[in-house]
Amino acid sequence: EYISSHDHEYKIANTITNTACDLQNVAFADVSYSLDAYPSPDEAAAALADPALAELTTASGFTSTVGDSGLTVYTRTGSVCDTDVITGRAYWQRGHFVATAQITIPASVEVPMDQILTSFVGQQIYEQILSSVLRPEIRES
C-alpha cells in the first residue's frame, strides 16, 4: 500500500463545508487541507514523487494537468447545490509533511486552479493557521 511503503506516521485533516449551499456569499462548496507526516523530509519527498500517489488520485476520478506555476493539479467536475462545479486537488511538500489542498468551486470561476489551491487554500486559509507547525519545517528544508 502507498501509505505504508513510505513509513507514514500520521495524518491531520480539516474540511470546511458550505452546508447552506450559499455559493454567492461563500466562494466554495467545500475546502480541505491535510498534512501527512513522514519520518524525514527525504521520505516525504519520496512519497510525493511516488507514481502511486498520482494513480490513486486519478483512480478517484481526477484528471491531472500542470498549472501555470508548474504545480500538478488534479481536477474533476460535478454538481453541488444545483451548480456545476470543479474540484481541484494538489499536493506539495512542507518539510517532513506532504500537504494536500482541495477545493470545490463553481465551474464558472476563471482563476487558475493552481493559484486557488496555493494562494487561497494553502496560504490564506490553512498554512496561516498551521504556521507554528509549518514554519520550522520550511526553514529546515
Over residues 100-123, mean pLDDT: 95
Tell me what pLDDT residue 127 has.
Answer: 86
Q: Between 102 and 128, where is the model more confident?
A: 102
pLDDT in tens, 45-60: 999 999 999 999 999 9
Taking the C-alpha atoms of residue 73 and residue 85, their distance in angstroms, rounded to an integer, is 16
Taking the C-alpha atoms of residue 133 and residue 116, their distance in angstroms, rounded to an integer, is 22
